[in-house]
Amino acid sequence: MFHPSHAPPGYDCPFCRVVRGEDLSGVFSRQSDVVLRTPQATAFVSARWWPGNAGHLLVVPNEHVESLYALGPPLLGQVHEAVRQVAIALRSAYPCEGVSTRQHNEPASQQEVWHYHCHVFPRYAGDGLYERSSEHRWTTPEERAPYAERLRAWFARHGHTTGG
């Protein structure tokens, strides 16, 4: 099977830490960013935002899997069911006009964390997300909090919890 690995020896995976219930240091992901936990996947508001697309999320498998190449069925379907649920929640909880997803594998595609993750972006007409790819910035937990709260409230109203 084709499963190239780019994680350095002894890699301390930040997404595994979030899945385990840890808060990362600095501006990085906190448990307060988590909006959905299923037995197979966790979704959280990303610490990295792009202009015009505030509140984008990451969905990760709870099991450490580095890339799409290693994400086999049925986990692939279970993770992408969480992506679908997050997309529906975004469309309902944010005033966005649509949703985009994107996912990267290996350094040439700009994968930077060696744990499979799917980005879920709120989209607005003319937001230029793909044209402004290099304009990202890091946010604070306080800035992310209202976005996470809106989504947690949406999931709670629809019978989902953030508990694992």
* CATH label of the domain that carries residue 101: 3.30.428.10
Is 94 within a domain? yes
- Whole-angstrom CA distances from 61 to 6, 14, 50, 79, 129 are 18, 13, 23, 6, 25
Residue 160 structure tokens? 């989902």
Q: What pLDDT is stored for residue 134 in this prediction?
A: 87
Residue corresponding to tokens 């966005």: 96
Asked whether residue 156 carries a pLDDT value surpassing 90, the answer given is: yes
Tell me if 65 sits within 8 A of 75, measured CB to CB: yes
Average of pLDDT values for 151-162? 89
Q: Is the pLDDT of residue 160 over 80?
A: yes
Residue 22 maps to a domain? yes
Provide the number of structural domains found in the chain.
1
117 is in which domain, residue-wise?
14-157
Nearest to 29 by CA among 141, 119, 145: 141
Partners of residue 99 on adjacent β-strands? 122
Task: From 58, 59, 51, select the one nearest 124 (Cα to Cα).
Answer: 51
Please report which helix (H) or strand (E) contains residue 59, including its range: strand 57-61
Q: How many residues does the chain have?
A: 164
Condensed to tens digits (0 to 9), the pLDDT of residues 82-100 reads 999 999 999 999 999 999 9
Domain presence at residue 3: no
pTM of the predicted structure, to 2 decimals: 0.92
Residue 118 has pLDDT above 60, yes or no: yes
